Amino acid sequence: MSYPTQPTASHFIDGKYVEDTDGGRIPVVYPATGEVIATVYSATPAIIDMALNSAKRAQVQWAKMTGTERGRVLRRAAEIMRERNHDLSVLETYDTGKPYQETSVVDATSSAEALEYFGGLAGSLTGEHIQLGEDFVYTVREALGVCVGIGAWNYPTQIAGWKGAPALACGNAMVFKPSETTPLCALKVAEILHEAGAPAGVYNVIQGLGDVGAALVTDDRVDKVSLTGSVPTGRKVYAAAAAGIKHVTMELGGKSPILIFDDADLENAVSGAILGNFYSTGQVCSNGTRVYVQKGIKDAFVKRLCERLNDAIIGDPMDPDTSFGPMVSERQMKIVLDYIQIGQDEGATLAYGGKRLEQDGFYLQPTVFTDVTDDMRIAREEIFGPVLSVLEFENEAEAIARANDTEFGLAAGVFTADLTRGHRVAAAFEAGTCYINTYNLAPVEAPFGGSKASGVGRENSKNAINHYSQMKSVYVAMGDVEAPF
């Protein structure tokens, strides 16, 4: 079978596709079948150099344009992206294996929203005037320069847009490196931005593994690094960026809690747990994989959860009825299968799923463990797959303490009918992105990101502007200069 997935070339630099087959070969595998559907080549030092030089040159011109002009380009790109939503969603499904039912409403859509939102903000980015008697200071919001974006494999179109849109709105240029597991979608984002009028070099995409990311992060031409990835990679990238005193945004992993109290609406709580564990086959950084359920509702919750999982339609991700696709790669599937074994060895009860499906592709069943205790590895480590752990609790104080007892702090959720308890628990959560009576929504208008080991900085919202710009203050004296001698 042939697939419409082979890109024109591996890299998009200075407004055009560029190839260099001297780089390491990266086969792109369709997770639903295991077939190779495209090939790209890792960036050589010459390609890295070309991309950074192009970004450096283009950024100067881009920053000279008015914010309104830059915003117009971003909003036009958002329109093109929406017009091509079907094709982009199909490509996202080939790249990641996520069902078309999801990709058609989440991926290009959310990238377009970021372009539209930051395109709208671009014209209103200003400094301020500070009067000091007769003297005064004015501040100027300036671009940082060249930003490097490094993406994870779970949301390749979205991550390319979430990083690119605020960076470009502020007058920066970007060199984006997608995960080598999903190299296809970011190229389309670059193509569309260029078509929408972004000057050549303002948004470049180069392929490669961690070594290419590392070469970008340590380069003197780079002013800011924004990574979406795991905590171990985050530690390395943060340290490398620190050596060059570069700005950073770190969107890292999590092991987030969802607290379900006895008084919660059962169906809503089950829906939240499903969204927070099985959407995108569980490959979502903010997933609430530690589901703490109060004693009185626990049995009913587990029963209803397992009933609802029977309704998941697992199969061909291109079929619009399919609601649960394969894991992104054989490697990730094996990591998750190992954790499922570890959970059983640790004494947790396998209440649902737990097996690989006997068919082509990297399909696992949605999996639920009960009788999980806080010290088990399946309750402490990020699995990044469709594995939900149910833990029982008795009272609010205990549940909060246990929920916060983790190095991570990306997200947290609470389900309760008690309004004051909902807010009290959200206030007590040590997490950057919290939910009351819902889970895993990430609208562009709201800040998204983690505390503790889950990250530094925020994506989305007006807050992201602070992470892609810096303030210059200019002191203006209206009188003579007084010097001591």
> Annotated catalytic sites, by residue?
163, 251, 285, 459
Per-residue binding string, ligand NDP, 398-427, x by CB under 6 A, is ------------x-----------------
Q: Does 200 bind ligand NDP (CB under 6 A)?
A: no
In this chain, which of 47, 382, 387, 406 binds ligand NDP, going by CB under 6 A?
382
229 binding ligand NDP? (CB under 6 A)? yes
The residue among 314 and 453 lying less far from ligand NDP, judged by its C-beta, is 453
The answer to whether residue 339 forms part of the interface with ligand NDP (CB under 6 A) is: no
Q: Write down the least CB distance from residue 16 to ligand NDP, Å.
A: 23
Among 80, 137, 209, 350, which residue interacts with ligand NDP (rule: CB under 6 A)?
209
Stretch that binds ligand NDP, among 64-72, 106-114, 224-232, 467-475 (CB under 6 A): 224-232
Stretch that binds ligand NDP, among 110-118, 225-233, 262-270, 371-379 (CB under 6 A): 225-233
- Binding ligand NDP by CB under 6 A: which of 15, 164, 199, 213? 213
Among 150, 186, 340, 400, binds ligand NDP (CB under 6 A): 150
Interacting positions 154-183 with ligand NDP (CB under 6 A): 154, 177, 179-180
The verdict on 230 binding ligand NDP (CB under 6 A) reads yes
Compare residues 102 and 251 and give the one whose CB is closer to ligand NDP.
Answer: 251
Q: Does 236 bind ligand NDP (CB under 6 A)?
A: yes
Closest CB to ligand NDP among residues 15, 23: 23
Determine if 217 is a binding residue for ligand NDP (CB under 6 A).
Answer: yes
Residue 151 binds to ligand NDP (criterion: CB under 6 A): yes
Task: Find the part of the chain contacting ligand NDP (CB under 6 A) among 49-57, 99-107, 229-237, 309-317.
Answer: 229-237
Nearer to ligand NDP by Cβ, of 282 and 366: the residue is 282
Angle of the 67-83 helix axis to the 185-195 helix axis, nearest 10: 130
By CB under 6 A, which span of 125-133, 208-216, 264-272, 467-475 interacts with ligand NDP?
208-216
- Write down the least CB distance from residue 474 to ligand NDP, Å: 36
- Three-state SS string across the chain, please? CCCCCCCCCCEEECCEEECCCCCCEEEEECCCCCCEEEEEECCCHHHHHHHHHHHHHHHHHHHHCCHHHHHHHHHHHHHHHHHCHHHHHHHHHHHHCCCHHHHHHHHHHHHHHHHHHHHHHHHHCCCCEEEECCEEEEEEEEECCEEEEECCCCCHHHHHHHHHHHHHHCCCEEEEECCCCCCCHHHHHHHHHHHCCCCCCCEEECCCCHHHHHHHHCCCCCCEEEEECCHHHHHHHHHHHHHCCCEEEEECCCCCEEEECCCCCHHHHHHHHHHHHHHHHHCCCCCCCEEEEEHHHHHHHHHHHHHHHCCCCECCCCCCCCCECCCCCHHHHHHHHHHHHHHHHCCCEEEECCCECCCCCCCECCEEEECCCCCCHHHHCCCCCCEEEEEEECCHHHHHHHHHCCCCCCEEEEECCCHHHHHHHHHHCCCCEEEECCCCCCCCCCCECCCHHHEECCECCCHHHHHCEEEEEEEECCCCCCCCC
Task: Kindly state whether residue 82 participates in binding ligand NDP, applying the rule CB under 6 A.
Answer: no
Q: Can you give the binding site for ligand NDP, defined by CB under 6 A? A: 150-154, 177, 179-180, 209-210, 213-214, 217, 227-230, 233, 236-237, 251-254, 285, 382, 384, 410, 450, 455
